[in-house]
Amino acid sequence: MKHIKERNISLQVLRGISCIFVFIIHYFEEIRRFNTNLKTNALSQFAYYADFGKIGVVSFFCLSGYLIVTSINSSSDKKIIKFLTKRFFRLYPAYWFSLCLLLVIFPGHFKGLHNFLTNLTMLQYTFETPYLNRVFWSLETEMYFYFLSTTFFIWNWHRVELFWKIHFVVFLLILFFFINYGTLYKINFYGRLIFNVSLMLLASQYRELRGKGPRKSILKKAFGINCILVMYPICNALFSFMSEGNQKAFTLFISYFSGIFFFVFALKFPLKKNFLSKIFCKLGDVSYSFYLTHIPILYLVFNSLPSFLIQATGYSSYLTMIISYILCNLFALLMHEAIEKPCLKLSYFINGLPSVLASLKKRKITV
């Protein structure tokens, strides 16, 4: 049990570090977007070269795939309904608030009622609607994964031999797709969606492999083969760089490989609870609110307060980055306490209503 808790600390720390990676790349993107007088530095060049943002997102995908098994690994329909209720209140209220915040800060982002309503679904690309916030593409990928994983695990299909045979065929189709239609850096959203969801499913398989379920031999074979199939597009990007000298392909290889490596490292080397891990765990706690709101806050910083910040920091992009990061974290903390936690408590209350009503009914019958 202690080892499990330490592993959870490692995963939460990874969540916090992933947020920092995403923030760094978006911070330097905003410097270029608003054409400030801040000087770019070696960190910005390395962040673009390794694509810090993609590293963070890949780590998030692996974490989602790994942790989802614990949440819905049940054959009970009622528990699945409770899981979906909890997911809804965990994701959507904070997400809707972040959209409203963006429109309040920049009313010019409003592109009509249809666009706004479609953005509320988290399925913008599916409905061919522009994103109000460009970073929300990853949330749409998560939504597709939740749908698939809920379907896979709702009746314990993952414990049936037929499921793994079907899953193997799906991964073969993924491999066929990438062989015939291009590499990761050339394909469209749906191509990347297929690959990213496959990566999350692979993390789910790994979590199930570490459990005590039956059919371990089948699961090991499926996991090993699927590892090869998922790694093919990543390695293909490296081969494209070696043969064509394509820098974008190499950056994609580095980002995916690093994101997966950090995830595996966090699992293999659990961290103990100390002062530093507590700080990163807290960053991990507010990571969802941070991800939702860091772009609007950066917009506000660079659009409304650039002269003040630039003069106060002596034109240093490092100091401005630290100030911006602190502001983003403070707002994320407020949002986490004011919206995420109350909504999560509301989901517990709603999930507990059937039990409460059943107990009241029994008391009436007894009386």
pLDDT in 10s for each residue of the chain, 367 residues: 444 444 578 899 999 999 999 999 888 888 777 655 555 667 777 777 778 888 999 999 999 888 886 676 554 555 677 888 888 999 999 999 999 999 988 888 888 889 999 999 999 988 888 899 888 988 998 888 888 777 766 655 555 555 555 666 666 666 666 555 555 556 667 777 877 888 888 888 788 777 655 556 666 766 776 777 777 777 777 777 777 667 777 888 888 889 999 998 998 888 888 888 888 898 999 999 999 999 989 888 777 655 655 555 555 677 778 888 999 999 999 999 999 999 999 998 888 887 777 777 776 665 5
Angle between helical axes of 317-335 and 287-304 (0-180°, round to 10): 130
Q: How many residues does the chain have?
A: 367
- Total domains present in the chain: 1
- DSSP one-letter code for 340: I
Assess contact for 157 and 163: CB atoms under 8 A: yes
The tokens describing 227, both together, are 């590892």
Question: Rounded distance, CA 175 to CA 181, Å?
Answer: 10
The sign of the dihedral angle between the CA atoms of 226, 228, 232, 234 is positive
Question: Rounded distance, CA 266 to CA 341, Å?
Answer: 26
Question: Rounded distance, CA 43 to CA 32, Å?
Answer: 14
- Domain containing 57: what range? 2-366
Short-list 178, 291, 149, CA closest to 237: 178
Assess contact for 14 and 59: CB atoms under 8 A: yes
